[in-house]
Structure 1
Amino acid sequence: MRKNGGMHSGRPFSDRRWLLPFLASLSVSAVLFLATIFGPFSPHHTEDPESLDIATITGAEDSFEYTLHLKKKSMEDRHFHLEIEAPRIAYLITGTKGDSQRMRRALQAIYHPRNQYILHLDLEAPPRERIDLAMYVRSDPVFGLVENVHVIAKANLVTYRGPTMIACTLHAIAMLLRGNLKWDWFINLSASDYPLMTQDDILHVFSSLQRDLNFIEHTQITGWKLNQRAKPIIIDPGLYLSKKFDVVVTSEKRELPKSFKLFTGSAWVMLSRSFLEYCIWGWENLPRTLLMYYVNFISSPEDTSTPSSATPMNSLTRPSDTTSITSLGTLHQSNTPAHSP
């Protein structure tokens, strides 16, 4: 009885018919497992290098085609953004006697290696203060390495009610153009200015804009300003003296110009390089005509003009077949060239 019972209980272990189906199932499972792991790396998928990146990142659970489509789109967007280079801004920081420390503060606040900076202490500041400012720039290791901070050694005398402020600004722009420096926009600041945004944020915002846009603030001169600014004839002693005096108002009056309208606004602007090249290297006489007109104009940095048929605008491009004029305070454009009054 024990023998028979022992033989009966050992029969399942002596019967090997179950082994073949088990091995077949195991082989099929192994093949499917290996195909799941190494399938995305087959030659069919490696034809596109972008698919290889997706396979290693996304896995195989979700919809592969849908994930592949979204990933390709994001990579194309990333390549598109990489093609857009951040702009470069040229800053002019101006100051007078006692402003050197504030100019340093403003420079540190707006400094960025991509930009260009010109510092101008006017002739009223003592030579010692100007030398200290130049030594500060020269001794800074970052400024020395990047070489994008420049101090105007031959200072100008600036009378803020006269045209000498425009002359100082044009001087700085001419230096930027002559030095063949890379920049897209020009901003003039005073020593008392301080930024509300970081330079990285500013460059990021302007990276998506056209590089020929100009940013100005203006309004048409009306009422008392026409009589107290446009009609008087002034003489700025800063044009020919080495000591600052207030502007001299003559007893003579002049008529308002009939070929263009007068506007007023802020003297602090952001102008494109293409427009300033037109102002400095102008291939026509319009910039020089307007400059001569504003030489005898009270607060000329805050005023500008446009042909009477023009419609004022806030952001304009460099003139090609149209005409733009400015006094570095505001900017306008029209299809009719302006003439001297």
Structure 2
Amino acid sequence: MGVEKKWLYALFSIAFVSLLIFLSGISGFRSSYYAIPSHGSFASTAVHRGPGNPPAFAYYITGGVGDADQMFRLLLAVYHPRNRYLLHMGSEGSEKERKKLGLLVESVPAIRAFGNVDLIGKPDAVTYMGSTNTAALLRGAAILLKMESGWDWFITLSALDYPLITQDDLFHVFSTVKRDLNFIDHTSDLGWKEDQRVRPIIVDPGIYLTRKTQIFYATQKRPMPDSFKVFTGSPWVVLSRSFLEFCIYGWDNLPRQLLMYFTNSVLSQEFYFHSVICNSPEFKNTTVNGDLRYFVWDNPPKMEPHFLNASDYDGMVQSGAAFARQFKKDDPALDMIDEHILHRSPNQVTPGAWCTGKKNWLMEQCSKWGDVNVLKPGPQMEKLGSSVNKLLDDWKSQSNQCR
């Protein structure tokens, strides 16, 4: 083995072993790894789960420096007692900001009562281009799996995202969706990504350092793998609980094999889940090819879609998407969504059929509640339903699955 190959092998080994240590919390995390800002009191209404009841979602919401207010606003916009929420402010955020976010969360009466929102207390260092993104995501999924047994789908959001539907809309549409289906934008047509994202060998120092840093590249590129086919797509996903259990608990070697490979890939979050699910005989037929997101890309496209504003509002409303990305803090478009779609007042959760308080300036509408298993969808439900039905028609025809 030549000197350069030995050096590359050493880099790969260090990175992968460090990633395994980084992910050690998956098999058994301790309570000190996360903080629960609201311990809650007894909620007066039971949350019914399982067949015959509306579905439930586990939200993993991420943010960085200066994102506490945006993360809190997003949480209020997507909150419902049926769901579970995990907030992760990356290690670059200050402890002061993290405590501020915890206090904001604890100030919401429903969250205190239902105790279904948690904040990671020991945050991960996340490098945008590196594999720490995937590691943090897997850790978040593992925590949510251990903390709550009743949710059906896992949704990833960042502080730059915002919903285009109420949770009642989302529950109603997904009530008729098979709960083992995965909404994940994917393709095997790698194009330029093969040479610029898959074949380059990178190391993400954030795996073994406590601070955020930049990735670095090896001088040599690797051949494409023979034992599996690489798929790519949007990093924003809606994944079934059963598929995440497959990735986390690993009764098959495939998730570990691909985790090893993508540890050294650029933007591994655009490849990992896509490649695992499409190379798995058990799950490859559960892939609905769509991420339910609304983006507007520049021409030519940049690394991220452009920031949305009020001029994009009509396009968002008509899109049939569940979420839109990306928004600047306090953009007027967010106020328009709050007013016309969510009917949400500032610093209050989005009201649903579960809220029984009177809407006035003295009382938050959702500070009192009735049956949280009752739904009252709004006009956006029809648009989301049409969009999901179209995706499901493609899935049933198998015209767009893992190709």
TM-score after normalising by structure 1: 0.66
1:252 aligns with 2:224: no
Query: 2:209: which partner in 1?
Result: 241
State the distance in 2 between where 1:197 and 1:180 align: 24
Q: CA deviation at 1:171?
A: 1.0
* Structure 2 equivalent of residue 201 of structure 1: 169
2:198 maps to which of 224, 227, 230: 230
Structure 1 runs of 4+ aligned residues shifted over 3 Å read 306-314, 331-334
Q: Distance in 1 between matches of 2:249 and 2:279?
A: 21
The answer to whether the 8 Å contact 1:259/1:307 transfers is no
Q: Larger C-alpha radius of gyration, 1 or 2?
A: 1
Residues 141 and 285 of structure 1: is their aligned pair in 2 closer, same or farther, counting only changes over 3 Å? same
Q: What's the secondary structure of 1:91's corresponding residue?
A: strand
> Whole-Å Cα distance in 2 between the matches of residues 180 and 311 of structure 1?
26
Find the aligned partners of 1:225 and 1:187 in 2 and give their Cα distance: 25
Where does residue 288 of structure 2 map in the other structure?
Answer: 315
Q: Deviations over 1:32-81 (max 9, x none)?
A: xxxxxxxxxxxxxxxxxxxxxxxxxxxxxxxxxxxxxxxxxxxxxxxxxx
Task: Work out whether residues 180 and 286 of structure 2, in 8 Å CA contact, stay in contact via their aligned partners in 1.
Answer: no
- How well do the aligned residues superpose, as a CA RMSD in angstroms? 2.5
What percentage of aligned pairs have identical amino acids? Answer: 50
- Cα deviation, residue 311, structure 1: 7.9
Q: State the distance in 1 between where 2:68 and 2:89 align.
A: 8
CA-CA distance at 1:209 after TM superposition: 1.2
CA distance in 2, matches of 1:265, 1:168: 19
Equivalent pair of 1:259/1:308 in contact (CA under 8 Å): no
Give the deviation of 1:308 after TM superposition: 11
Gaps of 5+ in 2: 1-50, 290-399
- What is the TM-score of this pair, normalised by structure 2? 0.56
Which of 102, 110, 128 aligns to 1:142? It is: 110
Determine the structure 1 residue equivalent to 2:386. none
Question: What secondary structure is seen at the aligned counterpart in 2 of 1:124?
Answer: coil
Is the aligned partner of 1:177 residue 2:184? Answer: no
Matched, 1:189 2:157: yes
Matches of 2:181 and 2:223 in 1, distance apart? 33
**Correspondence list, 1:159-174, <5 A:** 159-174=127-142
Tell me if 1:120 matches 2:88: yes
- Decide whether the 8 Å contact of 1:90 with 1:185 is kept in 2: yes
For residue 314 of structure 1, what is the amino acid of its counterpart?
T
Aligned partners of 2:248 and 2:57: how far apart in 1?
18
Distance 1:161 1:332, change over 3 A: farther
> Are 1:187 and 1:270, in contact at CA under 8 Å, matched by a contact in 2?
yes
Offset, 1:302: 0.6
Q: Cα deviation per residue 1:254-274 (whole Å; 9 max; x = unaligned)?
A: 111122221211000000001
CA distance in 1, matches of 2:245, 2:279: 21
Task: Give 1:19-38 correspondences, 5 Å limit.
Answer: none
Which one has a larger percent strand, Structure 1 or Structure 2? 1
Tell me how far apart the structure 2 counterparts of residues 197 and 144 of structure 1 sit (CA, whole Å).
Answer: 24
Partner residue, 1:19: none
Aligned to 1:8: none
Structure 1 portions without partners, runs of 5+:
1-82, 317-330, 335-341
**Alignment CA distance shift 1:125-1:231 (3 Å):** same
Query: Distance between the aligned counterparts of 1:142 and 1:102, measured in 2?
Result: 19
SS in 1 for 2:232: strand
Instruction: Tell me the matched-pair count.
Output: 239
Whole-angstrom distance in 1 between the partners of 2:163 and 2:284: 32
SS at match of 1:218: coil
